[in-house]
Structure 1
Amino acid sequence: MNADTSLAAALTAEPDPPGRRSTPWAALSAVLLVLAAVTGVVAARQSPDPAPADAPATAFSAGRAMAHVDAVAGAPRPTGSARLEKARQYLVAALRGLGLNPQTVTRTACRDQPDAEATCGRVTDLHALIPGAQHGGTVVLVCHYDSNPGGPGAADDGFGVATLLETARALRAGPPQENDVMLLFTDGEEAGLLGSRAALDAGLLPDPAHSVVLNLEARGVSGPAVMFESSASNSAVVSALRDDTADAASLSSLVYGLLGSDTDFSEFRAAGRSGMGFAVVGGSARYDTALDSIANADPSGLQDLGNAILAATRNLAAANLSATVDDGPATYFPVFGRLVVYPEFVDLVAAILALAVLVTALALGRRRRTVRLSAVLAGGGGLAATVVVAGGLGLALWELILLVRPDYVGFLSGNPFRADLPDVGAAVIAVAVAVVWWLVARRRVEPLETSLAVTAVLAVAGVAAAVLIPGASYLLVWPGLGGAAASLAAVLAPDTRWHALFWALPAAVAVVLVLPVALLLFPVTGLAMVAAPMVLLALLAAAVVAGLAAPRMRRRTVAATAAVLVLAGLALTGTGLARDTVDAAHPKELSMIYGLDADTGQANWLSPYPAAEPFVDHYVGQDSRGWTDRYPLLLAPAYRSGKAAFVSVAAPAVDRLASTPLAEGRVLQLRLHSTRPDATALAVYVDTAATPVVRAEVEGRPVRGGINHDASYGWGWGATFVGGEADLRLTVAGNRPVRLRVLAQTPGLPSAAMDLPMPDTVAGASFPSIQTLAARTVTY
């Protein structure tokens, strides 16, 4: 009998009588394999210890770098402020101390997106060059040195500033690199990515065909450091992270997009630049607040970021950078701390292969009467519903948390201070949903059919993901391919004693790929979006338990098991909420605004947060309404309010420079400024119902006309300027008077208007924060 005949006989033969189940040693080996995968994932995520100040000269040292954080992050440094000027002077001196020749470029830049208010500002970018031996290309290291007006920005972006300076020192301490390395410190990132826009407008960046951008950011005050975005063609660029990498996964770009955030790299990427964006993401409760301070900045997170940047810079500085521009998209993910990178199309090939192997296993199982297709479809449909249920429970859990802790509304863009137990509780609930599915399925579906159901969901979803969201498809494709192979092996060898290992291998693959992403999502998305990691954990748990031989339970027993597991998750969450007490180190985050209408002299306290809080409740009542008519830049639909004492604050002022009639309208030239220097931004809005804006210029920079703001109260066009006074040129249609609403923004609240000082158990949220607004209406 030849080989082909033997294979055909094996595929068409009736199944042998069932042999013994997996031996205890096989089951133990399977459990140990999965546990080893979990242990390896957790161990690989540990942040490094900060290197001391006397570390080797060519190494990155958080001990040395923290000195730079101390120097620049003692107080808020928004664009145009004296503190920012002081930080810039420090950077110039530090760069000269490294033997470099720093240069500054000051210009007005505007971010003017469709259907959005324009933001403009006069910014000063700082750059310096570390020359390479060959000058064949340039690695551009970028961070911003301004901060949010409400916080000192020790991590955001003091970590970036310190990393660039310490990386430059380490590079200078070693032999010259092949390529040039450019250091770019941008201004105005917090106001609207103005520094990166200015750098592009001024032509500061080198030829994009021979350069790579590494942008440094922060979304918290501690590690882990994450490479969260990259350019479209990224295979060669991402490969530079293999040596000492930050957390990096191609799924991150998708998650980052869902968060709706932007960084300087957003501007560089839109301009066709190749590169990557990095950030520390731990401790997000302190992100962009007064608590982003030196005292809360974690040197371990800085060390993690610095290790990744220094290694990537050295790799790219030795590479042929012209090969990084059109090298194609990549899929990448960590495996026990090492980065796996391969072309994106491989996922689609593997997904199709997984589907083909699955179909073969199903066909063979049906022929051999060991698999019922109806049972597999039922199990797969149940699993798909289970994933949806896990996501729904995540959304419901957040709403339940808000009922218990309404003050958590201040953490919409990050996790509360002590989120560990609520995160564990959410994870337990997600796993409970998968376990319940498994127990229900086992009442009618055999273990092999259950495993095939999980594999079917992974394989089908993997093909769809490889086409629609290829960067995220690896999470489904490789566990699906492993499951398909294990299913085929189980069908071909029904009598083996090692069935447990068949299912342990794809389960271990799922753990290695999915668990790092789920663990990363908890701090990044926060409790407000805890549904995302819960969906992944439910799918992961289903993959792990699918091959186990669950006992057949009665319906009541399954329901009781589900109740116990869900209650355990809720108990952990509740314990975590109770443990998250409010104190000076862990304050309630809220928004409080002092608003002054300069036309009437009337002042009000405003707060968009509905949660009861003694300090806020002292100033505002329970009734809420919209205030967009008086303060058009306010974003919340309703604010609680209360009367406030009139005090002198920074108020907007407008000087008319010229008014020139046109055939169908006129050109109005104005100068905006503030009555006091502590205002950080000026905003102007036009009543477009009376005089539509055809076009506009801010400090000579053209911005769109038309409607770019909610016109419900007539203010249909608006623009904001940061960094001092601004000249505005408006071209309007018609000859009717032009009605303007102008505002001045100042961080903090006027103490002279307060009869109850802000306690140290209260702090400004990331946005909207603690601020003073003064507005007036001007007609020309």
Structure 2
Amino acid sequence: MLTAGSLRAPPRALGLAALAAACLTLGALAWLAIAPATTLPAPAGAPQLERMLRHVAVLASEPRPIATGANARARDYIVGQLRGMGLAPLVQKTTVQKSVIQYWGGRHVTLGVVHNILVRIPGNAPGSMQRPALLLAAHYDTGKTTLGAARSGAQVAALLETARVLSSSPARANDIVLLFADGESVGALGAKGFAEQHPWARQVGLALRFDSAGSSGPPVLVDAAGAGSAVLRGVSTAVPGVEGSSMVAGLARLLPDPLRIGPLAGIDAPALLFANTGKRFDAERVLDTPQRLDPAMLGQLGDTMLRLARHFGDASLGRGVHYAHSYFTLPLVGSVRHSAFLSWGLAVLSCVLLVRGYRRALAESDTTVAPLVQGFFGIALILLAARMGLWERREEVIALTQAASHEPVLVFAIMSGCLFVGALYVLRWLAGGVPVFLGAMAWITAVLVGVLLAAPEVAYLLAWPLVAALGAFTALQAAPGSMARLAIVAAGLIPALVLFMPALLDAWTELAPQGLYVPALVVAILMLCFASVLLLVPVGRVAGPALVLVFAGCAALPAPERGASPAPQERVMVEPDRLVYFKDMNSWRAYWLLPPQPLDGWSKSLFPGLAQPVIHVDVFGWHSPRQWYAIAPREDRIAFPEAFLLKNPALASTNAKQTTRQLEFTLRSKNRAPHIELWAAGTKPLRSTVNGRVLTSSEGGWSMSLYGMEDGLLRFTVDAKAEDLLAIVVEERMPGLPTHLLPPGAPPRMPGTGMTISSDVLRFY
């Protein structure tokens, strides 16, 4: 059995004392790694919280989707506030196009008219107009079913009051540009319009974007694109103790609705995204109300925004982006940042140390490599068993993600960790400590290479602990005594503890409640792999009983599935109205529609004779979703889409050899609908344009969203195969309902919600 690098047993009392001291040291460092950050005092001249709360109350009185009246009212309010400060805001009105390839292969095109609000606060440095400017960005629009108090309302309020402080205090060295973007909820159209079309975007040296994923908590550095060490160091200087790591940023991209820097990452300058994540919203952000907003979060946001504006307003900024950087926080050290190239260097060093370890182990073995093979594949079997065991317990894990407290999660984690480490000790008994350790490090090295190729900024999480563990193994060869060897083993474990503990906590708290618990489990398993360093210490007689005792103590507690009580579901005081008034040109009828949900007494009177939601084949087809529906009175003041066929070559005599035809039609909304949806059925268009603008140029499924077209005339051309039938479905979508057609007694709903749809179908035979 191989023993290279393992320790000789020290005297019993001395060894136990040294082991206890090492465990206490590691535990203290792990606790420091997950300890919450301290709150900074407000900077001098900080934005006034009372004013910010008033801004939020005005803005969050109703949803403000792009191109709606509520959106225009919010824009007028922001412009009025800026002019009241003596600033000269500009409104960038521009048309923005965005194309997305959907997962089934179709292409969706979004075309919208956005209204961005821009303000430039001049700097006082000589030639400040030629110096790169600082950009502070937020958005003021919302989705259709959210008041947007914490997401957009809070950021706009903080940006307004930051502008007030900056405009009334001595100018900074750099120009500061403020961007209140429109169209964020429909694909960041406003930011895209600024980044691609506005001349100020080519003068920005650093972009700071502010957003929110919840109603409380301090701003966190959620993402950094193109930022080098100087910019990241500046963040730590401006806001000491700011939380955030590149690992959390990488994992957060897995969320269903992740916070992103978006188009601002493409302006050839570093871009940072700050957001708070406490008290997360639901999927539709219905919970994002002024009543739920934590005033402390608003105050912290204003303070952070002002600190960053003052620091980077005087910093030397430069155009251009840097290679991916890793950033994280270490206990007793603070913020650490470095280029991902360093992780590549650490990976190379780890490979060298790993090869050296295997060569030394082979040299010390007699004639067989069986223990090394057993260690390598034994670790693979343990990892496979862990994966299968967690899969079998997935219902329990899902229950833990919804638990109101963390005690059941902690019990489950301790018991699972004891089993994993126990399996390592069993494998050590079969193959030896060194083969098992080298096998674990070999698998982690393979994972590290994969992470470096996919997300290099996240690789620090494995690179530092791996090189420390392998370095400790190498140093054990020349360690002079037992105490020194124990200290080396402890030092080899410290990077894994101080990096993996906060990473595990963040991965669980940020992702698991959203249904993404697998990343946290992967982080936990990788961290447990580093426990193989303990196999180099001959403390099995102590470790074995300790693992059994801890496991038995946890098993004696209530089982996690019985002890984990689901967290209570939050509900808002006033729900959004999900009722739809659907006016259909083809059937010449109108309908009340409602998604599947329990009906109250008033809703039951609106849908008489229906026991459950059904599929309405006549209007929506066999593949439409189930919904509540009822015939509604037709309101003639709501116009049908004004669509005219201009060209359909299939109706005229054509050359028999012609394989394609070009169809033309015009569309105008007499309702001045803020949102129009179109999609093609029956064939896959080959090419399409609107008013000469190319929408698609290759064959594929076709759908389109139009925003802010008002009553302008839109002329479409669609190229399709000559023998295929084609239908273009048009839906004009307007917020609100014809309430005079509803029966009396409707319950109160969120203002500005409910939807009216006017539909038509153009058929090309």
- TM surpasses 0.5: yes
Aligned partners of 2:92 and 2:220: how far apart in 1?
30
- Alignment partner, residue 536 of structure 1: 523
1:32/1:518 Cα in 2 relative to 1: closer, same or farther (>3 Å)?
same
Aligned partners of 1:585 and 1:14: how far apart in 2?
61
Letter in 2 for 1:354: S
- Alignment partner, residue 682 of structure 1: 676
- Alignment partner, residue 658 of structure 2: none
1:179-578 map, 5 Å: 179-207=174-202, 211-232=205-226, 234-243=228-237, 244=239, 246-259=242-255, 261=257, 265-270=261-266, 272-286=268-282, 288-322=284-318, 324-336=319-331, 338-364=334-360, 367=363, 374-375=370-371, 378-384=374-380, 386-387=382-383, 418=404, 420=406, 424=410, 427-428=413-414, 431=417, 434-444=420-430, 446=432, 450-493=436-479, 495-527=481-513, 528-544=515-531, 546-547=533-534, 551=540, 571-572=559-560, 574-576=562-564, 578=565
1:325/1:270 Cα in 2 relative to 1: closer, same or farther (>3 Å)?
closer
1:55-111 Cα offsets, whole Å, 9 max, x none, are: 554446656544432332222111122322222222223323433211112222222
Point out where structure 1 has 5 or more consecutive residues left out of the alignment: 1-11, 406-414, 710-715
In the alignment, is the contact (CA less than 8 A) between 1:219 and 1:279 conserved in 2?
yes
**Are 1:71 and 2:58 matched, yes or no?**
yes
In the alignment, is the contact (CA less than 8 A) between 1:155 and 1:297 conserved in 2?
yes
SS at match of 1:320: coil
Aligned partners of 1:91 and 1:529: how far apart in 2?
37
Q: How much is the aligned-residue C-alpha RMSD, in angstroms?
A: 4.7
In the alignment, is the contact (CA less than 8 A) between 1:393 and 1:531 conserved in 2?
no
1:368-424 Cα offsets, whole Å, 9 max, x none, are: 56999654554454445555665666666665677x79xxxxxxxxx8694756755
TM-score (norm 1): 0.79
SS at match of 1:444: helix
In the alignment, is the contact (CA less than 8 A) between 1:687 and 1:717 conserved in 2?
no
Point out where structure 2 has 5 or more consecutive residues left out of the alignment: 655-660
1:125-144 map, 5 Å: 125-134=116-125, 135=128, 136-144=131-139
**Per-residue deviation at 1:246?**
3.8
In the alignment, is the contact (CA less than 8 A) between 1:390 and 1:433 conserved in 2?
no
**Are 1:630 and 2:620 matched, yes or no?**
yes
- Alignment partner, residue 15 of structure 2: 23
1:535/1:428 Cα in 2 relative to 1: closer, same or farther (>3 Å)?
farther
Aligned partners of 1:459 and 1:387: how far apart in 2?
15
In the alignment, is the contact (CA less than 8 A) between 1:354 and 1:484 conserved in 2?
yes
1:687/1:469 Cα in 2 relative to 1: closer, same or farther (>3 Å)?
closer
Aligned partners of 1:624 and 1:435: how far apart in 2?
54
Aligned partners of 2:165 and 2:140: how far apart in 1?
20
Aligned partners of 2:737 and 2:418: how far apart in 1?
47
**Are 1:580 and 2:573 matched, yes or no?**
no
Aligned partners of 1:26 and 1:370: how far apart in 2?
33
- Alignment partner, residue 671 of structure 1: 668
SS at match of 2:483: coil
Aligned partners of 2:599 and 2:696: how far apart in 1?
42
SS at match of 1:240: helix
Aligned partners of 2:234 and 2:729: how far apart in 1?
51
- Alignment partner, residue 732 of structure 2: 744
Aligned partners of 1:639 and 1:571: how far apart in 2?
40
**Are 1:158 and 2:142 matched, yes or no?**
no
**Per-residue deviation at 1:218?**
1.7
SS at match of 2:501: helix
1:250-296 Cα offsets, whole Å, 9 max, x none, are: 23453244336576732232454431222222222346422101111
In the alignment, is the contact (CA less than 8 A) between 2:140 and 2:153 conserved in 1?
yes
In the alignment, is the contact (CA less than 8 A) between 1:95 and 1:165 conserved in 2?
yes
Percent identity for Structure 1 against Structure 2 = 22
In the alignment, is the contact (CA less than 8 A) between 2:114 and 2:190 conserved in 1?
yes
1:557/1:174 Cα in 2 relative to 1: closer, same or farther (>3 Å)?
closer
Aligned partners of 2:32 and 2:543: how far apart in 1?
37
Give the length in aligned residue pairs. 727
Q: Quick check: 147-156 or 368-377, which moved more?
A: 368-377
1:775/1:366 Cα in 2 relative to 1: closer, same or farther (>3 Å)?
same
Aligned partners of 2:350 and 2:137: how far apart in 1?
42
**Per-residue deviation at 1:160?**
2.0
1:618-767 map, 5 Å: 630=620, 639-646=625-632, 653-656=640-643, 659=646, 664-674=661-671, 681-689=675-683, 692=685, 694-697=687-690, 701-704=693-696, 709=701, 716-722=702-708, 724-725=710-711, 727-733=713-719, 739-746=727-734
- Alignment partner, residue 657 of structure 2: none
TM-score (norm 2): 0.80
